[in-house]
Amino acid sequence: MGVTGTERNSVPAALVLADWARSIDHKSIPTRVIKFAGSQLASQIAAARATMTLPVGKKIVRAFGLPTQDDPKSAAYVLAALTMAADFDDTMYAGHVSHSTVSVPLAYAATFRTDGRRLLAAIVAANECAARITAAATLGPFRGQTAAHAHLAGSVAARMFLERAASTQWASAWGIAFAAPPWALDHPFFGGESKALLASTQVRAGLDACDAAIGGIEGVMDIFEHPGGFLAKYASVPLPEMISYGLGSLWHTETLSIKIYPGCAYIDSAVDCATAIHHRLVSADHAIEPATINEIVVESSAFTTGMDAKSTPYINGPRTPLSALGFSVGYNVAVALTRGALEISDLAPDRTDDPVVWELASKVHVKHDVSLTWTALQATAPLGEALKCAGSAAIPWLMEMAGKIGDGTHHEMGDDTKKDVAGKMSSGGGATENASEIASGEKELAGTPASSSFDPPATSFQDATKRIGARVTVHFTDGHVEQEYRESAIGAIGPETRQSHEELARDKLLSTGISLSDVSALLQMESLGAKDIQQLLRRLLQPA
């Protein structure tokens, strides 16, 4: 019997989550959520295929084999590496969870003779577990791809779901996997190619933990909430309540954002702007050359300026490591402005040595816009929902984060700006008197996140948003000025993406050379049996 109501207060969070996740099936998941999982699957396969065309992808395959190999643990490792390496992966609230939540079900589909419906259900179950556990630690030192602990959670959930394992085995496996969580270092992340294996190593550790738990090795059940457990040691503001809050009504899978460009998601709005300016200039027959441009100003949120500042020391023209290249505002905006697009081929050596692009990149100046940061923080992802759930406890952390934000020249925000951002968050635009009041009007302080004057946490993600915006202004030598603004990127979760995510995923997959018939089959996989799934995946996961 499932754990419900007040029983949850005395039952370990891992056991509560496992008990719920193992019980869901295709019928119990809303259709809209299943459709998001289908798009997520297609998009991740596209990311793996695209990366296999790059030198780093070929190295991964040479070192570890193809993603279609018979050993599922090794196949999952390869898939996670391929989807991580070029930063062409998708995101949701909270985290880049797909490296485990999609890779493991794909790798184990043949082992468990999984049909289309159960494969999608496994992805959703893994998403919900990984995203919740990641959200519980997101107010801390790691977010984005560096939050590699997400894959300890996702790999265990995906594998145990397909195993039809007992709740106690799920919880025990998490207890084993999270006994030694990863601690990502910036220097190897940006400076070499080891980032490609950051998710893979955690996927393998999670799968090993499953083997251990199935074999009878016991992990601590209270690994997440115990004072000596994961959240207490890993998060600056632990949010253990988020692990079980809103089970069955709050579907993290429908916060999916689909990347249409390789590289960090925080560059996407700026690339959208540069692409739009390129096409407008071409239509007007206006030259786009370094000699005709004085300056390119990219105004953006703290998420973008902070990311760009971290990668800048590693930018070295054509010799820039791939990991850093995907985080460079200058390079990616220059590519989009010059070529009218940003594609996986723009990360290949024969494209990254273009002197015109690098000369334009040197003219890009990134500036912080506090209003864009405020807009980003109000959205569901990447942090807004966590801030609402933490309430006033998030203020010291938010102030510390604001103090570390560079404006492109590595100067810190002033105290007034820090207080402005933190103060706006704590004023809670539409907050109730008691922020733990949920939609039904019933006040359930125990086990319900949020406090103080912040807006209450969401009770549904059907209106989830991600608004990492940018404003790009191109100043020409003849005095001409072109400007474009985007509040959020194409593919970022919001009203437009809720309507177009299947089309975005289809186009991303088609761009890797897959036939239209195979793409259509993948996006209708609910009707496919286990044998058809195996044959389709084998075709899709071959190198392009």
pLDDT of 423-455, one tens digit each?
554 454 333 222 232 222 222 323 334 444 567
Q: How far is CA 467 from CA 209, 276, 373, 457, 492, in A?
A: 36, 18, 9, 18, 7
Domains for the chain: give ranges and CATH numbers: 5-260+497-540 (1.10.4100.10), 265-368+469-490 (3.30.1330.120)
What is the pLDDT, as a whole number, of residue 411? Answer: 36
What three-state secondary structure class fits 474? strand
Contact between 294 and 477 (Cβ < 8 Å) = yes
Residue 95 φ then ψ, to 5°: 110, 170
How far apart CA 268 and CA 332 sit, in angstroms, is: 9
Q: Which long-range contacts (CB under 8 A, 24 or more apart) does 24-33 make?
A: 24/121, 24/124, 24/125, 24/248, 25/117, 25/118, 25/121, 26/117, 26/118, 26/120, 26/121, 26/526, 28/248, 29/120, 29/121, 29/124, 29/251, 30/251, 32/254, 32/462, 33/124, 33/251, 33/253, 33/254
How far apart CA 272 and CA 300 sit, in angstroms, is: 13
| Residue type for position 388 | K
pLDDT averaged per 10 residues, the chain (length 544): 42 97 96 97 97 97 96 98 96 96 97 96 98 96 92 98 97 98 94 96 98 97 96 95 95 98 96 98 91 96 91 95 95 98 96 96 95 92 93 84 47 48 48 28 33 74 97 96 97 98 96 93 91 94 85
What is the pLDDT, as a whole number, of residue 544? Answer: 73
How far apart CA 290 and CA 293 sit, in angstroms, is: 5
| Residue type for position 194 | S
How are strands ordered across the β-sheet holding 293-300?
364-368, 293-300, 470-476, 481-486
What is the pLDDT, as a whole number, of residue 413? Answer: 45
Quote the pTM value.
0.90
DSSP 254-311: GG-B--SSSS-GGGHHHHHHHHHHHHHHHHTT----GGGEEEEEEEE-HHHHHHHHHH
